[in-house]
């Protein structure tokens, strides 16, 4: 048995006297999509932020392939960080409004890949193709793109880092139903092709039931149940 890519054990979070959750435990296998369902304010986004290191929980463990990220030094965590990514509900906040879409797309490659200019442009074009972006999209500024197109750019940017795990926090809730389905299909394709795992956060059970292998229910500060939807996780 290989280790789960992510395991969260007895995670707890309070902001001052407000206890958001306690004893939150779940794990996610390679190539798996785990849904996280809960009502507004239940702490879903906070759990996602803890996983990528944007918040520090008040208790518990977050293990990435066995190693607890909360015990890691800055240097060790920085090495791991490109492998664990997050997508937000308002994806435009992840893009630089002053740069055209293609420049936004290749920015992480510039920072992390060490590729030379020609190879970098080629890889950028491959990623654009992988995520269904056309040249006319790539020449526009973020403000000139639709919500679905922006979410594709954000996914392409993230895939540039070859992530193992993506927290997708309501990635499609700002999109209309047909575009929502396109983006969810794209995420499933990326998973089939790369084996990436997702924690898909949503308060739309219909969406979660369509794409998740399992769904964790967050209620009253804890995970009350984990439902099996599909058992065949492709690795």
Question: Which residues contribute to the site for Mg ion (CB under 5 A)?
Answer: 45
Yes or no: say if 107 and 99 are a contact pair by the CB < 8 Å rule: yes
Please, which residue, 129 or 219, has the CB nearer to ligand ATP?
A: 219
The item of ligand ATP, Mg ion, none sharing an interface with residue 135, based on CB under 5 to 8 Å by kind, is: none
Please, which residue, 45 or 104, has the CB nearer to Mg ion?
A: 45
Q: Which stretch binds ligand ATP (CB under 6 A): 38-46, 74-82, 126-134, 183-191?
A: 38-46
What are the start-end ranges of the E strands in 33-118?
Answer: 33-37, 59-64, 67-68, 84-87
Range 118-123, long-range pairs (CB < 8 A, 24+ positions) = 123/160
For 116, the 3-state DSSP assignment is coil
Which residue of this chain has its Cβ atom nearest to Mg ion in the complex? Answer: 45
Please, which residue, 43 or 163, has the CB nearer to Mg ion?
A: 43
The single residue among 2, 40, 117, 225 that binds ligand ATP, judged by CB under 6 A, is: 40
Find the shortest distance in angstroms from Cβ 119 to ligand ATP: 39
- φ, ψ for residue 231, nearest 5 deg: -95, -20
Binders in 169-228 for ligand ATP, by CB under 6 A = 203
Asked if 41 is part of the footprint of ligand ATP (rule: CB under 6 A), the reply reads yes
The item of ligand ATP, Mg ion, none sharing an interface with residue 42, based on CB under 5 to 8 Å by kind, is: ligand ATP
The single residue among 38, 60, 91, 108 that binds ligand ATP, judged by CB under 6 A, is: 38
Q: Where are the alpha helices (DSSP H) in 52-146?
A: 74-80, 101-112, 117-130, 135-138
Asked if 2 is part of the footprint of ligand ATP (rule: CB under 6 A), the reply reads no
Find the shortest distance in angstroms from Cβ 174 to ligand ATP: 12
CA dist list (Å): 215 to 35, 201, 206: 4, 10, 11
Residue 195 falls in which region: left (phi positive, over 0), alpha (psi -120 to 50) or beta: left
CA atoms in the 13 A half-sphere facing the CB of 2: 10
Give the residues lining the site for ligand ATP (CB under 6 A). 15, 20, 38, 40-46, 203
């Amino acid at each position: 048995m290989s280790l789960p890519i992510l395991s969260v054990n007895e995670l707890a979070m309070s902001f001052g006297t407000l206890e958001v959750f306690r004893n939150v435990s779940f794990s996610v296998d390679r190539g798996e999509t785990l849904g996280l369902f809960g009502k507004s304010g239940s702490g879903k986004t906070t759990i996602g932020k803890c996983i990528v290191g944007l918040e520090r929980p008040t208790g518990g463990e977050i293990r990435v392939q066995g190693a607890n990220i909360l015990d890691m030094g800055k240097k060790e965590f920085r090495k791991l960080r490109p492998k664990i990514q997050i997508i937000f509900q308002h994806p435009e906040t992840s893009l630089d409004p002053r740069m055209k879409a293609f420049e936004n797309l290749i920015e992480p490659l510039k920072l992390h890949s060490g590729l030379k200019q020609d190879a970098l442009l080629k890889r950028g074009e491959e990623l654009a193709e992988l995520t269904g972006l056309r040249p006319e999209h790539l020449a526009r500024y973020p403000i000139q793109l639709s919500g679905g197109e922006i979410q594709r750019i954000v996914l392409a940017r993230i895939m540039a880092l070859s992530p193992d795990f993506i927290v997708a926090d309501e990635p499609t809730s700002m999109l209309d139903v047909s575009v929502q389905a396109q983006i969810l299909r794209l995420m499933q394709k990326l998973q089939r092709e790369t084996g990436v795992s997702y924690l898909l956060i949503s308060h739309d059970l219909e969406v979660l039931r369509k794409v998740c292998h399992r769904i964790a229910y967050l209620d009253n500060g804890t995970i009350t149940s984990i439902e099996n939807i599909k058992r065949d996780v492709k690795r």
